[in-house]
Structure 1
Amino acid sequence: MTAAVSAICSAILLLAAGFHIYWGFGGRMAAGVALPQRQDGSPVIENAAFGAIAVGLIMTLLFLLVLARTGVVRLPVPQAWLTAGIALWAIVFTVRALSWSRYVGLFKQVRTTRFARYDTLLYSPLCLVLGLGFFYLALADSAP
């Protein structure tokens, strides 16, 4: 079961990392639904290229963290630190998914924008899957 959870989390992380890096370098595909929007459709965040690249790199590092936690790769870090990192990110992804914020999360206030629809149907559920998957990996037996 750990291998399946690791594979699902890894696939989500790599896909999301790729899209964020693509957007950060000016990619336009799906860019209209990449940022939270106000009621009038204007983006909440302006000029987010650096942030998109940063998020993409963080997701790539999280991919490595998952691989290290499950023993696929070895990092010069104690297993307890890997477990703590996985647990911390489990909380981050779960909070992101279940957020009561204005623009993101399953309980967001602004629900009529294109971003909000994608957030409800795709982004928040994927964050919830990552959060639950990371919780599972944090609680699973350590890799050999």
Structure 2
Amino acid sequence: MLLPAVVAATILVVLSAIHFYWAFGGRRGMGEALPVNAAGELMLTPGAGGTFIVALGLLFFALAAIGNTGAFDAWVSRRLIMWTTRGVAAVFALRAIGDFKYVGLFRKVKTTPFGRRDMRYFTPLCIVLCVLCLLAAWQ
């Protein structure tokens, strides 16, 4: 059962790296990753600090996932790792459900470029990460 933890951690490290890139001034892809309303106006304008915190959070999530392989058994109890990973799964489940307006499975604004990307990529990725984290914690 190491595969779900390793796959989840790999995806999370890649997502973290993208967010670090944005936090340190990179702009490529950022516009496509932010929700917009029906008029095309950004609904979220994250600053460098907030983006940096998200990057660190994703890195922490990756560490939690990899902890299910036993990598940190000498420092952290497996029970804590398991519950933390379940918490990470819950975060991605909530993101997949969304805010019922702009993001997630139940969004109402669907015809914007972000809405289409969210339907094709972002929400399914959150569902996959949720399932992988649950599988990793279920050992």
Tell me the residue number matched to 1:38: 37
The normalised TM-score by structure 1 is: 0.88
The normalised TM-score by structure 2 is: 0.91
Tell me the residue number matched to 1:60: 59
- Deviation digits for residues 63-114 of structure 1 (CA, Å, limit 9, x no counterpart): 1111112113446222111111011111111121122521111221111111
> Is the CA contact (8 Å cut-off) linking 2:5 and 2:68 kept in structure 1?
no
Matches within 5 A, 1:58-137: 58-74=57-73, 76-137=75-136
The answer for unaligned runs of 5 or more in structure 2 is none
Q: Residues of 2 paired with 1:110 and 1:50: CA distance? A: 28
Tell me the residue number matched to 2:49: 50
Distance verdict in 2 for CA 1:104–1:75, change over 3 Å: farther
Q: Residues of 2 paired with 1:89 and 1:47: CA distance? A: 22
> Is the CA contact (8 Å cut-off) linking 1:12 and 1:126 kept in structure 2?
no
Q: Residues of 1 paired with 2:75 and 2:113: CA distance? A: 43
Count of residues in correspondence between the two structures: 139
Deviation at 1:44, TM superposition (A): 0.7
Q: Residues of 1 paired with 2:8 and 2:77: CA distance? A: 21
The answer for unaligned runs of 5 or more in structure 1 is none
Tell me the residue number matched to 2:11: 12
Give the share of equivalent positions with the same residue, in percent. Answer: 32
Q: Residues of 2 paired with 1:100 and 1:62: CA distance? A: 22
Q: Which amino acid aligns with 1:137?
A: A
The secondary structure found in structure 2 opposite 1:21 is: helix
- Deviation digits for residues 6-35 of structure 1 (CA, Å, limit 9, x no counterpart): 222112101111111111222111111121
Q: Which amino acid aligns with 2:118?
A: D
